[in-house]
Structure formats: structure tokens, C-alpha cells
Amino acid sequence: MKSFSDEEKLLIQDKFDELLKVASFVTKQEQIDLITKAFKVANSAHENMRRKSGEPYILHPIAVAKICTDEIGLGTKSIVSALLHDVVEDTDMTVEDIELQFGDKISSIVDGLTKISGVFLNRSGMQAENFRKILMTMADDLRVIIIKLADRLHNMRTLESMPPNKQIKIAGETLFIYAPLAHRLGLYAIKSELEDLCLKYLHPNEYKLIGDRIKETEKKRLTYINRFALPITSKLNDEGIEYEISGRPKSIYSIWNKMETKNISYDEIFDLFAIRVVFDPKTGITEKAQCWTIYSIITDIYIPRSDRIRDWISQPKANGYEALHATMMGPGGKWVEVQIRSKRMNEIAERGYAAHWKYKGINQQESELDKWIKEIRMMLEDPKSDAFEFLDEFKLNLFTSEIMVFSPKGDIITLPAESTALDFAFFIHSEVGMHAIGAKVNHKLVGLNHKLRGGDQIEIITSEQQQPEFEWMEIVTTAKAKSKLKNAFKDKRKVITKEGIIHLEKLLKELNLKANSTIFRKLYNHYNTRNKEKLYYKIGLEKFDRFAFQKILKRRSKNKWIKFWSVASEDPNIAAKKFDTSKPLIVDDKTKDFQIAKCCYPIPGDDVIGYKSTDDNFIIHKTSCQNAIRLNSSESEHVVKVEWTTHKILAYLGRILLKGIDNVGIVNKVTTVISNELSVNMRSISFESHDGIFEGNIDVYVHNSSDLNNLIMNLSKIKGISEVARQEIIEDTF
């Protein structure tokens, strides 16, 4: 191990001095002594250890501690814990050693940080159970998760030193769990940076293109912001309001995500930036009243868009976020989002939970985050839920946005967006949910699957005779409802699964067949699953007869247009030798042993990964596919980067969306371009017309993304076509 040079030792000391400098709140000598002691212990423990980049390892915990204090606003104990966060995992020091030197609170935080490392390495029961324990610590002390987020942020900032397969794995894991966690805790600046850095490694070309476009338009954007803000500043000055106005562009990731989800180009995004007004509150006037006063001043200048007002000051978001958002028609006919916040609100928005705790008690409505933590604790303490289910429910809690609804007595209840009346019933009480038969929403009778909207008032109708039904799992969206239903169905599911095994064995015996991989593959395809327990359960539910079973077995898995491959080798060692996650797999027309994922239908030219499934098939996913992001995060040891080469023989399925004016013969022109001019095979075509406008989808088989882009370009030239774009093919399978 190469010893540190004098220059490196000097650099380490300089970085630590910088940390003390940014921690300006540390004024007491005992606090400085404690931080210095932690630095000396960590520096000694990590002596001569280096990161992948070659720099001294101790620079990493110093950087994490700096993020904790400078960018998040945590205090002395967090700085000490951040400096020590890797010593137990990477050196001979133990948690007991830290407790002896720094006390039980810091040792508890360091213990939680040590355990959380590698939680998403694989989906073993031990790892998932470990995550439960970590979150139990989080429910008592959120600093564990916040310091881990700072640790992940620094790792993402220095990810270029890692090999490509590790970059993809770490970026996928970050996008899957850490960025949503940062969002949930109100750490918007960290969440945005994590998402941007993930995009940089998962979609480098798109990241560069959007980044370049933002830089190109920066001068023009600043000019427009000044033009928009000038009359506002004049009015605010006249009113004697102390404020700051700034304009910032959307993050690269949010722009990319909008382009992907809405199938639009960069130029079609109208809200590329937002104007923020941050004011100093006047004494004797509530912050809420001042927000609306500023809103009123701005609406005297610019016309607001009534359906785009977001009031998060009357009822803050679950993570404590408060602000008043409105979209205004600015000069030149451009819509501009305006965010109005007090300095306190702005600090909570930027620093999340740390600032929320600082101001706790000033505003009683800042309790939504505490409610969320309490809900996590309830899920953790549920003895019936297993580790895997909890992990899934926790993720569900992270990703949701909220709506505010009312109980019959007028109590405000926060639920995830897209919640149904049945979700509301389970929120009130699990027994209410189990016996619900209907609901009244705004005094009108509706079904349990009725989707709620913000401002709805809901009353649940129950009956003692009602029992939960399996179909309810398709109705509910909240973690609590899903968890309660799963527990209720667990015993019943076991019985049905056992019946499925017996029924399949009976059919195989009648047909003198033995269970093998071919039979299971056909059953898996029929039921859109790759899980044996789910397969037996579905067989137990359906209990098809021998004739239906024979029909499934006779069904051909290949068709004349597109080929899927399965692993041909009978020697598992040969397959294992081929699979090296450190090197990308090259796929061309001669490559075998692969399947195209039906959840995202990638084609040559797309950014893709390969996943080795349980039956030794290699499945290719687009890297932007939600299943790919999950696999990168939880089963990275089975994931490898894939590189397409030229494809001229095999054909792949792609979907094109078309919109335009419903002229006579427009469909004929479209099919002529596809079939005759470009000689592309169509699988299906569907068009709908209303009020003189048509919209349609065409599924075609192409060799690569270049062919598809060429087809889109030619279709866009047809007179009457206003929009042509590639559309994702989404099927509920994997």
C-alpha cells in the first residue's frame, strides 16, 4: 500500500480546515474538539487507503461531512458521524470502539450507516430485513438516511473513476431509491442533482444534448427573466417588500423525463424555467397573507392560468414543502411558472428535513412529514408483513405525490395522488376497508374504485357481511391498503397455490408428461410471469382442463417477423463463463441466447442492458425501462451492459404515434409510405377520428432505431400529419 505523500497529507488537512470553516455554527470549543477528534480517528483508520480514483480515501468522508453541514444544514453529531461513517465497514474499528469514544448516539448513527451499505446489492431476505432495521433507526433518527444521501451524492459526483458496469449499477440504484428518498425528505436540490448525475451515466448522449441546449439558450433565458421580472420588482419596491427574484432552468433530468413521457421535443417544452420570489416576512402579518399579497401584485401585471395555481401554504406537502405556485402569461406569449416563498419556506424547500426540524413548532401545519414517519413506523412494526413486501410498500410511499381530501366531519386527510375510495377506507381504519361496499363522494354514491380528486369529501359505506376480494388489489394504490389486503389474502393464497401444484401434477400425469423447462416456459409466457409461486397460484385460480393445457403447450413462441432466443447450452458453467458483468455483451444478427423484453421492446440503437433471468435466459431491456432501473438496483450481479451492432436480418417491434387533420385518403398515404416506399412490415394499425382530427398507432417491424427514425421522418412529410413520434410499447410483463 503506497504511503501518502507530503502534498497529499497537506491536501487532507486543507480539506478538513475547509470543513470547519463552512460549519460556521460550530463555535463552542467542545464541538470543535469533538469534530477534530473524529477527523483524527478516521484519518488514522483510513491511513494510506485510496479510492478508485487514486486519491486518499479520507477525502471522501470529509466531503460527505461538508455536504451534511454546508448543503443540508445538519449539526455537530452529523458531521462527526459522517467523518466516521466508513470506519466500521472498511477498517478494524468496531461500533463498540466508536461508542466508547463518541457515545451511544453517534455509534447508533454510524451503525445504521454501516448496515445500509449494500442493502440493494441483491434481493436476498437478509438484505431486505436489514433495510427494515435501518428504517427503524430512521424512524427514530432521520440523520442516518440524510447522511447516507450525502454519501451517495459524493459518490455520484466522483463516479467517473468507476468502471462502466459499476457506473450503471450505482446510477440505477440511485435513481430507483435514493433520489425518491431525497424528494420525500424535501431535499430538492440533492434530489435534482442525483437525477441529473444518474442521467449522465444511464443516458450520456441525451444528457449532453439537453445540457448543451440549456447552455445555448442561457443568455436568451436571462434576458427574458429580466424582462419578465422588471415590472414586478418595481411594484414590490413600491409596496416596501424586501425580496429576492431569481430564475432557474428545469433540471436536465426533469426536461428529459418530460420529453420521454410526453413524446415531445426540447422545443415543445414551454416551462423550461421558473421565476422564484423569496421575501422577508413583515412583522404582524402572516407569511400566508404576504404570499397572496405578492400573488395579487403579480396578477395585476400578468394574467394567471387558473388551472395551474398550486397552494402549498394552506396545506404543505408531506415532506414539509410550502410555497405558492402560479403560471403566468409572460411577454411574447410565453407561460412562466412563478414560485412565491418566504425565507423560511425557501430554506425548508432547499434543505428539507433539517430545516423542517429547525422551524418545528413555528407552524403547526408542518406535521405531514411527522405523519409519514409515523406511517413508516407502523409498517415496520406490523408483525405480519415480510421484508420483501415491506421494501415494495416503502418504495410505493416514496414515489407518490399527494392530494388533500376531507372526511365527513371536515378533517383534512393527505393521500397519494390516484388514490381510490377504497384507499380512503383503509386509511380511516383497516376494518373499515375490509368491510367497505361503496362510498359517497361529494354526497354522490360511487364505487370503491372511484378515483379521488383534491378537495373531495368522502364517506365510506360498510357492511359486516362484506369480505375483501382479490380484485381489490387492482383497485388500491396506497401502501397501507396493499399491505393489509396482502396479509388478508396470504393464507387463502397459500391454499390456492397448493391447489395449483396438485392440479398441474394431475394434468401432467394424465398426459404422461414430465415437468421440464420447455413446459414451464410456455406456462410462464401464457401467464406473463417468471415466478413459480405466482404461476401455481394462477393455475390454482383458473384450473384449466386438459384440452386448454394441450393448447398452451402447442402454442408456438416464435413468429415469422421476430425471433426470440433462449439459452441453448445444457452446461451451466458455459453460460456462466459467457456472463461477465465487467464487459459489455456484443449483440448482432448471429447472437443467440437472448430475449427481447416485452415490457419495453428495445430495438438495435437503443441504450440497453442484459438481465440473466432465473431460467438462464438473457433478457434485453431499455435502460430507461422501469424494470431495468429496478434490476440495476436490486439484482446488479445479473445485469450486464449490452452493445448493439449492425442488424440487417432480424426484425424488431416498434410503435409510431401519428396525429393530424383527417383528410380524405390520409390512412392510404400512410400505409403506402410504410409498405411500398420503405418496404416495412406492419403488425397492426389503428386510427380514431373526431372533430376533423385523427390519432393513430402503427406497430411495425424494423431492423434498428435508424430505420424507425427514417420512417418517422418520411411520415412527417405527408401533408396533414402534424405529429409523428416513437411511442413506448408497454405490456404488464417482464
90 catalytic per annotation: yes
Find, among 560, 516, 520, the residue nearest to 536 by Cα: 520
Phi, psi of 615 (to 5 degrees): -95, 25
Residue 89 a catalytic site member: yes
Contact assessment for residue 187 and residue 74, using Cβ atoms and an 8 Å cutoff: no
Q: Give 75's Cβ-side CA count (13 Å radius).
A: 11
Here the cell at position 639 is: 445485469
Catalytic-labelled residue, pool 47, 70, 90, 386: 90
| Secondary structure (3-state) at 509 | helix
Residue with cell 411500398: 676
d(CA 696, CA 700): 13
- C-alpha 442/C-alpha 411 separation (Å) is 14
Beta-ladder partners of 585: 642
3-class secondary-structure state, position 410: coil
C-alpha cell at 271: 416551462
d(CA 693, CA 663): 9
Sheet containing 436-441, strands listed edge to edge, beginning at the edge strand earlier in sequence: 444-446, 436-441, 458-462
Q: How many CA atoms lie within 13 A of 312 on its CB side?
A: 26
Contact call for residues 46 and 60 (beta carbons, < 8 A): no
State the residue for C-alpha cell 412583522.
283
Order of strands, sheet of 594-596, starting from the edge strand that comes earlier in the sequence: 585-587, 639-644, 608-612, 618-622, 594-596
Chain-centroid distance, C-alpha 554: 40
Residues 17, 89, 140, 723: which is the catalytic one? 89
Place of cell 387492482: 474
User: Which has the closest alpha carbon to 594: 523, 644, 531?
Assistant: 644
Spatial separation of the C-alpha atoms in residues 162 and 158, rounded to whole Å: 8
For 41-102, what is the HEC assignment? HHHHHCCCCECCCCCECCHHHHHHHHHHHHHHCCCHHHHHHHHCCCHHHHCCCCHHHHHHHH
Q: Chain centroid to CA 278: how far?
A: 29
Catalytic residues: 89-90
